[in-house]
Chains A and B, each alone.
Chain A
Amino acid sequence: MTSVDFTHKAVEMIDVVKKFGDFTANDRISLTVHRGEVHALLGENGAGKTTLMNCLYGLYRPTEGSIRVNGQEVVISDPNVAIGHGIGMVHQHFKLVEPFTVAENIVLGLEPTKALGLLDLAEAQRQVAEISERYGLAVDPQARIEDISVGSQQRVEILKALYRGAEILILDEPTAVLTPREIKELITIIDNLTSEGKSIIIITHKLHEIKQVADYCTIIRRGKFIDRVEVDKVSEHELAAKMVGRDVSFSVTKNKVVRGDRALAIEQLVVRDNRSIAAVDRLDLELYHSEILGIAGVDGNGQSELVEALMGLRPVESGKVLLKEQDITNHTPRRMISDHRVCSIHEDRQKRGLVLEFDVAENLILETYGRAPFSHRGVLDHGEIYRFGDQCAENFDIRPRTTTQQAKALSGGNQQKVIIAREVSNNPDILIASQPTRGLDVGAIEYVHQALLEQRDKGKAVLLISFELDEIINVADRIAVIFEGRIIGIVDGAEADENRIGLLMAGGTA
């Protein structure tokens, strides 16, 4: 806040309209950012935040409205022009060339060259080292992108913008993929940048981050400007209400439920990942009915491999999975789902959760298509399928209600509702939810949490895997911390302490 220079408007977007055919993504949105300011752009998924910033960065051209940079009216026809005006953007999905080195990625498009267009990579590495030192962004210029962590990749993206002389930096959902520690590092970097007079625009739907870093916040909803607020003067609750357009409850209300019998026991499980490293390494875990067991841990500690092994998608090398007393290790996914009643909300809903080209009703019967009432002697009964689809759309509030459109046309939140509707309707004994709220906005997160709790209250055993510690603490009855493929601590949900779990997640002993 101290670094904001109110006499200098770095960016002004005035009444910007962006239409795609008949659809208006941005409807007269205005935004002002001063020099040295951290400005948050808040809105739900699909509210038009990224579209607006793509207009500022020249990836889209606004249909109407004007943009001023440092008081000068400008037309930003492509990213080159934006870069020329000192605007840089770090996209949510990093735009890095994996087999290239850090230095190559940073200088790409603006390479230092000798005669004949000959690349001067030594010079590139020197320049990269220089800016990385100046702003405290530690990277190894010679490392390949595919070999470095997500946090480092983000620093490379920031360096790309700084290398091009960015004074105004747009960060699109910068914390979505970071660990708590990396988020802290990012906040330090942002402080360094603003104290050097850079302006930063953060696109986000995470409220506590806005409170932590932003000076001002512009809120948009369904493409429309709602408000511009000074962050210190509003509460998270007010921000959420402005974003969603109604009152939202953060705290999950949990009924008291007595834990039931043991549903699943995992004993000394070893599962190898694609590089044949033991990603799950002699893991022990027990899951009970009427309980949500949360697995907390940083991405890449064996969570995906564990779920894949439990669902029969990845071979178990040794150890056992016991359902009640029955050994179900290495059974096929079909048997897991149909015979053992283990259902899963997969972490990548677009890859494993849905067939994007199928319509919503078809997606809803992916597990049950082979049985009556959806098919008889191998012939599908479309009447029943769409009747069931419509009923699910109604019960699970899938929008739009028409189930004849392709799953890919739905928003992330509604895609997740389709998956939850399918898995819950299949009436599982055990429900595995991997990152069920990834990329969803506040309203949809609330919905998913309620759905999981309902399952628990009905006596199901729920396994919740998430990288969001808040989510685990809010929802789970018991929390197991996974680190390097093993459970290194189990904490009661009611007594969970964020710091202690955070320490365990990093491999420390609490």
Chain B
Amino acid sequence: MESYVNDIAFIIGTTLMYSTPLVYAAVGGVITERSGIINIGLEGMMYFGAFVGAAVAYFTGDPWMGFLCAGLAGASLGLLHAIATVSFSAEQIVSGIAINFLGVGFALFISRLVFDGATQTLTVPNKIPLPLDFLFGEGKLFVSAGFMDLVFNRFATVYLAFLLVFVAWFVLYKTSLGMRLRAVGEHPEAADSLGISVFKIRYGAVIASGFLAGLGGAAMSIAVVSRFSNTLISGHGFIALAAMIFGKWKPQGALLACLIFGGAKGLEIFMGAKGVPIPSSLLATLPYILTIVILVGWVGRSQPPASIGKIFDKGEN
């Protein structure tokens, strides 16, 4: 009995851990797509963020500095995407593809320069801390390796992700800024005619999405693991994109979707650890297969913002 409880706790814990990077990127996706700009560059932004986060954390020894710089790295790619799509009305999918190549390219290029030709960083001295760690262990509130420990003794990035979802929801639905952002995504001409700057809102939203995707990358490289490697971010950005769509372009929906994808990963690791007689490479495909199944089953039914992907031409002025 005890072992079943711990098994479940283990699955929940790994689910939380692996969902977190997706949550950052997916919420970023929600923000930019709600403003009307598609960002399939989330993958490249996460990739670059994962590298910069690990590299900065390695050299400074400060994981938080790494985390912040990862966000800025993602934001810089977001800025590029915004320049292309908002200022120059570039096709958003094409720009997003370019961002994906750029993110990978920048990361590997700088990595080879800085880490002696290696496409991975060295192990960071300090990972993102476990803020609740003091509650667990001998003579503490909870025993170590018990249910509470396995579920709740998580990296700070996990808790921040949940906070982020709440903040994003609050800003989008409860503030005037959020209402303007959603209006821009639904009907930019309407917003423009009321004196709302579609340009500023979209720039802000795309850069914010880059920042969050960068944080998502770092949540992988300096929390879930302790270094960046060239296969660390392999499709996470696309899964986050799928989660955003599955979550109907809402932060809370995206969170739920990320938890489902994270759950698939948790299950995969659990089954691998238990020696379930399924080849591990097959198990590893589980989250991806789930992505396809969910997208095929759900995309048709969720309603994207009305002006998404369309070029907004303010007219000659």
Partners in one complex: yes
B193 touches A100 (CB 8 A): no
Pick the contact of A96: B174, B187, B317 (CB < 8 A): B187
A79 touches B194 (CB 8 A): yes
Q: Whole-angstrom distance between the alpha carbons of A233 and B183 in the complex?
A: 46
Query: How many residue pairs bridge A and B at CB < 8 Å?
Result: 72
A274 CB to closest chain B CB (Å) equals: 14
B190 touches A108 (CB 8 A): yes
A383 on interface, CB distance cutoff 8 Å? no
Cβ of B183: which chain A residues have Cβ within 8 Å of it? 97, 100, 108
A78 on interface, CB distance cutoff 8 Å? yes
A60 touches B315 (CB 8 A): yes
A45 CB to closest chain B CB (Å) equals: 18
In the complex, residue of chain A having the shortest beta-carbon distance to the beta carbon of B190: A95
8 Å CB interface, A14-49 against B? 20
Given contacts A96-B190, A108-B183, A108-B190, contact A117 B176 (CB under 8 A): yes
Cβ of B195: which chain A residues have Cβ within 8 Å of it? 78-80, 83, 109
A97 touches B187 (CB 8 A): yes
Task: Pick the most buried of B179, B180, B182: most chain A CB atoms within 10 A of its CB.
Answer: B179
B316 on interface, CB distance cutoff 8 Å? yes
Given contacts A79-B194, A96-B190, A98-B306, contact A108 B180 (CB under 8 A): yes
B186 on interface, CB distance cutoff 8 Å? yes
A172 CB to closest chain B CB (Å) equals: 11
Cβ of B306: which chain A residues have Cβ within 8 Å of it? 98-99
Given contacts A89-B193, A108-B180, A110-B194, contact A100 B186 (CB under 8 A): yes
Q: Whole-angstrom distance between the alpha carbons of A105 and B186 in the complex?
A: 12
Cβ of A116: which chain B residues have Cβ within 8 Å of it? 175
Cβ of B180: which chain A residues have Cβ within 8 Å of it? 108-109
Encode B169-182 as 1/0 by CB contact (under 8 A) with A. 00000111101101
Given contacts A20-B316, A80-B195, A104-B179, contact A118 B174 (CB under 8 A): yes
Cβ of A97: which chain B residues have Cβ within 8 Å of it? 182-183, 186-187, 190-191
A160 touches B194 (CB 8 A): yes
Cβ of B190: which chain A residues have Cβ within 8 Å of it? 95-97, 105, 108
Q: Whole-angstrom distance between the alpha carbons of A117 and B175 in the complex?
A: 5
A55 CB to closest chain B CB (Å) equals: 11
Q: Whole-angstrom distance between the alpha carbons of A99 and B172 in the complex?
A: 14
Which size bracket describes the interface of A in this complex?
Answer: 20 to 34
A399 on interface, CB distance cutoff 8 Å? no
B7 on interface, CB distance cutoff 8 Å? no
Q: Whole-angstrom distance between the alpha carbons of A104 and B194 in the complex?
A: 12
Q: Whole-angstrom distance between the alpha carbons of A257 and B192 in the complex?
A: 54
B315 CB to closest chain A CB (Å) equals: 6
8 Å CB interface, B208-252 against A? none
8 Å CB interface, A80-104 against B? 80, 83, 89, 91, 95-100, 104
8 Å CB interface, A85-143 against B? 89, 91, 95-100, 104-105, 108-111, 113, 116-119
Pick the contact of B176: A20, A80, A98, A119 (CB < 8 A): A119
Cβ of A478: which chain B residues have Cβ within 8 Å of it? none
A79 touches B186 (CB 8 A): no
Cβ of A104: which chain B residues have Cβ within 8 Å of it? 179
A61 on interface, CB distance cutoff 8 Å? yes
Q: Whole-angstrom distance between the alpha carbons of A117 and B315 in the complex?
A: 30
B94 CB to closest chain A CB (Å) equals: 19
Q: Is the interface of B mostly helix, strand, loop or mixed?
A: helix
B193 touches A60 (CB 8 A): no
A111 touches B176 (CB 8 A): yes
8 Å CB interface, B191-211 against A? 191-196
Task: Pick the most buried of A97, A118, A119: most chain B CB atoms within 10 A of its CB.
Answer: A97
B89 CB to closest chain A CB (Å) equals: 18
In the complex, residue of chain B having the shortest beta-carbon distance to the beta carbon of A164: B194
Cβ of B196: which chain A residues have Cβ within 8 Å of it? 108-109
B193 touches A111 (CB 8 A): no
B189 on interface, CB distance cutoff 8 Å? yes
A79 touches B176 (CB 8 A): no
Encode A200-225 as 1/0 by CB contact (under 8 A) with B. 00000000000000000000000000
Q: Whole-angstrom distance between the alpha carbons of A99 and B306 in the complex?
A: 9
Cβ of A91: which chain B residues have Cβ within 8 Å of it? 193
Pick the contact of B317: A60, A100, A119 (CB < 8 A): A60
In the complex, residue of chain A having the shortest beta-carbon distance to the beta carbon of B193: A95
B310 CB to closest chain A CB (Å) equals: 15
Pick the contact of A111: B179, B187, B316, B317 (CB < 8 A): B179
A59 on interface, CB distance cutoff 8 Å? yes
8 Å CB interface, A465-500 against B? none
Encode A320-346 as 1/0 by CB contact (under 8 A) with B. 000000000000000000000000000
Cβ of A59: which chain B residues have Cβ within 8 Å of it? 193, 315, 317
Cβ of B189: which chain A residues have Cβ within 8 Å of it? 95
A109 touches B317 (CB 8 A): no
In the complex, residue of chain A having the shortest beta-carbon distance to the beta carbon of B305: A99
Q: Whole-angstrom distance between the alpha carbons of A60 and B193 in the complex?
A: 11
Q: Whole-angstrom distance between the alpha carbons of A117 and B316 in the complex?
A: 32
Cβ of A61: which chain B residues have Cβ within 8 Å of it? 317
In the complex, residue of chain B having the shortest beta-carbon distance to the beta carbon of A160: B194
In the complex, residue of chain B having the shortest beta-carbon distance to the beta carbon of A109: B194
Cβ of A80: which chain B residues have Cβ within 8 Å of it? 195
In the complex, residue of chain A having the shortest beta-carbon distance to the beta carbon of B185: A97
Cβ of B177: which chain A residues have Cβ within 8 Å of it? 117
Cβ of A108: which chain B residues have Cβ within 8 Å of it? 179-180, 183, 190-191, 194, 196
In the complex, residue of chain A having the shortest beta-carbon distance to the beta carbon of B173: A119
Please name 16 pairs of A and B residues whose Cβ atoms are closer than 8 Å in the assembled complex, sorted by A: A54-B315, A59-B317, A61-B317, A78-B317, A95-B189, A96-B190, A98-B187, A99-B186, A99-B306, A100-B186, A108-B180, A108-B194, A108-B196, A109-B195, A118-B174, A119-B176
Which residues in B have some Cβ–Cβ distance to A below 8 Å? 174-177, 179-180, 182-183, 186-187, 189-196, 306, 315-317
Given contacts A79-B194, A97-B187, A108-B180, 12 further A-B contacts (CB under 8 A): A60-B315, A79-B192, A79-B195, A83-B195, A95-B187, A95-B193, A96-B187, A97-B191, A105-B190, A109-B180, A113-B175, A113-B176
